[in-house]
A and B are shown apart, each in its own frame.
Chain A
Amino acid sequence: MKPSPFIYHDPTSIEEALALLQHYSGDAKVLAGGQSLMPLLNFRLSAPTALVDINRIAALSYIQQEAGQLRIGALTRQRTLEFSALVREHLPLLYEATTLVGHLPIRTRGTIGGSLAHADPAAEYPAVATVMEAELVVQGPKSQRILRPEEFFLGYLTTALASDEVLVEVRFPIPPPTSGWAFVEFARRHGDFALVGIAALLDAEGEQCRRARLATAGVGPTPVRLRAAEQILEHEGLTEQSIEAAAVRAAELVEPQSDLHASTDFRRHLTQVLTRRALRQAKARSQERQG
């Protein structure tokens, strides 16, 4: 398990990195935390001509509060997010999801941008970005574009990133202070990719639900927004019956695949169970914050 030979670059600026990507026109890979890319290289499942290691680009690592958003540099480590007071205060959903990412060594190296750009549908961050309607800031050689998660995640391990583009920033809108949240997942072991994960974000007042947001991990080629389930809650409020109806609807909305660890049917079953659990928890948190 040793990688094929490759040329290694470690630029210190984003411009330099973009120039290198342009130079290799599709035959270079961006190396961030390396938690997914390195195994692929070592298995020789991926054999790019060059690696562009962006770890020396200090300008890509930050957490800033601006214009009702938290803006997070793509190279920010998961471990940094876990310990960020800003994240904990304003994006408790992102915090909760972060604690479920792999294990401590993985979070210490792994970055938020790397996880999103790798686009593993069973990972936590794509679901969080989807449920929070984050903005994904993509820098190309000439211009920058901002993509919504639905535009960014195209399929299994596939994004809208062109070969000469880099994901540089993620912008999370800060939810209202009385909103409730939950990230609930079921994994075979602590730290494993979830068989199913559900991210829920509720903007509620009592049992009234102004906005409900639900997204999945692990039950499709990309994170899935469960809009039809959200609408049940927005129309009928957060009663036990509507939560159950939304959970049932959620299970109908997903098309999970079978694999070694869970069948389509079991994943669908878990989608219902976890949606119910996530909504109950989000509702309770919202009510707690409303006092």
Chain B
Amino acid sequence: MEQFTPKLVGARVKRREDRRLLTGQGAYTDDHRPSGLLYAAFLRSPYAHARIVRLDPAAARSLAGVATVMTGEELARLVKPVRAGSNMRDYKTTSWPPLAVGKVRHVGEAVAVVVAESRYLAEDALEQIDVDYEPLPTVADAQAASEPQAALLHEEVGTNVLLTRQFAQGEVDAAIAGAEVRVRERFRFHRHAAICMENRGCLAEYHAGTGALTLRSATQCPGLLRDVLADLLDLPEHCVRVVAADVGGGFGAKSSLYPEELTLCAITRLLARPVKWISDRREDLLTSTQAWDEVVEAELALRADGTIVGLRAEVTTDIGAYSIYPWTATVEPVQTISFLPGPYRVPHYRGRTRGVATCKAPLGPYRGVGRPITTFVMEGLMDRAARRLGMDPVELRLRNYIREEEFPYKTPSGIVWDQASLTACMHKAREALDYEATRQWQRQAREEGRWVGIGFATYIELTGVGSAIPVSPGMPISTGTEAAFIRVDPSGTVTAAFSVAPQGQGHETALAQVVADALGVSFQDVRVICGDTAVAPHGTGTYASRSAVLAGGAAILAGRALREKTLQIAGHLLETNPADLDIQDGRIFVRGKLERGIPFREIARAAYGGLRRLPKDMEPGLEVTRFYDPYYGTASSATHVAVVEVDRETYEVKIHRYVVVEDCGRIINPLIVEGQVRGGVAQGIGAALYEEVVYDEEGQLLTGTLMDYLVPTAAELIPIEVHHLETPSPTTLGGFRGMGEGGTIGAPAAIANAVSDALSPLGIEITELPITPERLFRLMRGTNELS
């Protein structure tokens, strides 16, 4: 890439937002209290599937302090229902009214809303709403939902199977039939919840005088919300502003449009008073999009020398009650078959998937989307194959990775990997671990009767996705571009605004590093504003490991454009050819003659200060907007290694070591990358050992508190060793690759493989996550190891 000579990019710059966030100076949605504020509370269904026979809000309406009570029918007159469409062939679009109309489809679905002078009063009023439900048969899981006699959730489409899809390449059945070694397994990845420090919440404010609607929301996608709200509320889009200022975690669960956002917007328009709703933890666990919940039956075939010849898989995904906007119910099931072959050369492949509606909270994207399970499945099969072949699992992997000379590599599902450091990551991981010594330690520990194991997982991840491959294939919206708006103020300070919207990722620091380098000014002089559609150019938000690539790329384009104009103005003022000038640290100078220069702020002043100081015909001002589309996107990769021990008596899994070697291309800020890796691994450890959303047969959520839905805390974690390779992406501006999700992708597989390795003397293999002591206890009962 021409003339991108990074200085700040690559530096361990401390996150500038942390002073604010860690000292209680952050301004989250709930911190905003406009005058005249009203508070909303939602009446939520206690039934998983029921007809609403009667709903009488009269008593609630008459309570003092209640501004309004609204039912689903009433709200339906004010907003269009959400329909998450897709042009994917075998996908059935269904409706999702923001408040239930006619029937409810999962426990926790909102059936009415109370808006009152306080949240306390609003909740008191909820108890006065009289609802008669006629229970319908519960559709408890994907298996039950696909039976021909199953009750239908969405009568309009006549089936609970909302999508089917297949990717195929080669002659998989023949290849597998003729293979020397076959390993086959049924893997179960349970339902998972994204637990954010900040629950969901929003504040809608309609200004009757201007007709402007402002929604503050704990969302990852302010730009995306603005587009859809204007449509569903039938408002001119220039009257809609969405702000996501400080947001405390998202992990995908804050990337979709939610019924509460739509409801509040409709009500504030009606009342012309601001209305706030802050989810409590119970509501968050009941209604935020959940993740995974898949069964994968997969078979891998290899030659006797360990070369993979074929892979086939059948995936069933429990997508819950509704198809979420904009990602649709396809996002998890389709990515699963899309990415299953992972980092390996798989000549013959077939993946089939179906997404089935059930009476559970809607499924949505969650850190890693599809890839935590595909990595668990594929890496689990690789270890089984290694055991069967008597090969070292590392050797088997090295034999099958896509080779360096094969990039760009097109996968069976049509994804193009630009380049990834698969073999190099594994070599470095083996070295960082001291693999031989660790195996030696394992042999000794085994002789002492201990159950210790080593597990590997390598993944390749599509990040920074451009317009060639939508984040969710078939989706009607574009997620392939982002933009940067950069304005140099007359004093020489720089304001850069982006539509990406961080929830803790450190964009204010990382993007300032990129802008400062691209423009040639100092880091301190750059302020980054994210997540406000009134300030930023059009974009969608922060999700899918895209911000470093897309917003970073846009920042480089915009920064370069301003740099060029700056040099032209400087050339004019210094009476020098702009080509002979350079900018560094906020000063423009003649190359080779450092003393002959001019401060950047002089250029800024000149840009706004009248034509005489500008070259003839130059437009005044120093600001620019640039869009960036990385087209295909770029691959990130990593190898994770877990060393674990299973307690022989309590079946507790203890992690002794955790090593990550990752390549996310050119690193903008190693501190941020390492923080992301560690946070992602922590969530992956949660998936491997602790976290599971449980519904009972009646569709009641049993994990409705954080005493039952177990998230690992600092006490459960160990120091995670992170090593970097830094191979700039050949296809993206700046060479950046996305890396926000990776930790969560590798960890479940690495830990599962380590536990299987630890228990291999007993013949126990892990097929189901999380690996709880109870599950291991039951597995042990199948052996004679119970004391």
Contact = CB atoms under 8 A, between A and B. Distances in A.
B317 to A, nearest CB: 23
B651 to A, nearest CB: 8
A2 B123 contact: yes
Given A192-B707, A260-B708, 11 more contacts: A186-B652, A189-B712, A189-B715, A190-B713, A191-B713, A192-B710, A262-B774, A266-B773, A266-B774, A273-B649, A273-B787
Contacts, number: 60
B192 to A, nearest CB: 15
Interface in A248-291: 260-263, 265-266, 269-270, 272-273
A188 interface: yes
A189 B710 contact: yes
A265 B708 CA distance: 20
A191 B715 contact: yes
Given A260-B703, A266-B774, A188 B710 contact: yes
Contacts of B281: 1
Given A43-B282, A189-B712, A261 B690 contact: no
Interface string B694-710: 10000000110001101
Interface centre among B708, B715, B774, B786 (most CB of A within 10 A): B774
Most A-side CB within 10 Å, residue of B712, B777, B786: B777
B117 to A, nearest CB: 13
A5 interface: yes
Given A192-B707, A192-B710, A263 B715 contact: no
Given A191-B715, A273-B649, A273-B650, A262 B703 contact: no
Interface in B630-661: 649-650, 652
Contacts of B715: 189-191
A246 B650 CA distance: 18
Q: Please indicate which of the listed interface residues B650, B702, B710, B715 has the most CB atoms of chain A within 10 Å of its own CB.
A: B650
Interface of A: 1-5, 43-44, 186, 188-193, 195, 260-263, 265-266, 269-270, 272-273
A273 B715 CA distance: 23
Contacts of B716: 189-190
A44 B123 CA distance: 10
B124 interface: yes
Nearest to A244: B787
A40 B99 CA distance: 28
Nearest first, the 5 closest Cβ-Cβ pairs linking A and B are A190-B715, A1-B280, A273-B649, A2-B120, A266-B777
B119 interface: yes
Interface in B686-738: 690, 694, 702-703, 707-708, 710, 712-713, 715-716
A73 B778 CA distance: 44
A261 B652 CA distance: 13
Contacts of B694: 260
A4 B710 contact: no
Nearest to A263: B774
A261 B774 contact: yes
Contacts of B712: 189
A272 B690 CA distance: 24
B777 to A, nearest CB: 5
B773 A262 contact: yes
6 contacts: A43-B282, A44-B123, A192-B707, A261-B774, A262-B773, A265-B777
Nearest to B712: A189
Nearest to A267: B774
Nearest to B704: A43
Interface string B649-679: 1101000000000000000000000000000
Given A1-B282, A188-B690, A270 B650 contact: yes
Contacts of A261: 708, 772, 774
Contacts of A270: 650
A182 to B, nearest CB: 15
A255 B710 CA distance: 25
A152 B609 CA distance: 84
B724 to A, nearest CB: 31
Contacts of B787: 272-273
Interface string B469-500: 00000000000000000000000000000000
B786 A269 contact: yes
Interface in B729-787: 772-774, 777-778, 786-787
A186 B650 contact: yes
A5 B124 contact: yes
A273 B786 CA distance: 11
Contacts of B774: 261-263, 266
Contacts of B690: 188-189
Contacts of B650: 186, 270, 273
A118 to B, nearest CB: 14
A4 B124 contact: yes
Contacts of A266: 773-774, 777
A15 B786 CA distance: 56
Contacts of A263: 774, 777-778
Contacts of B652: 186
A251 B282 CA distance: 36
Nearest to B41: A2
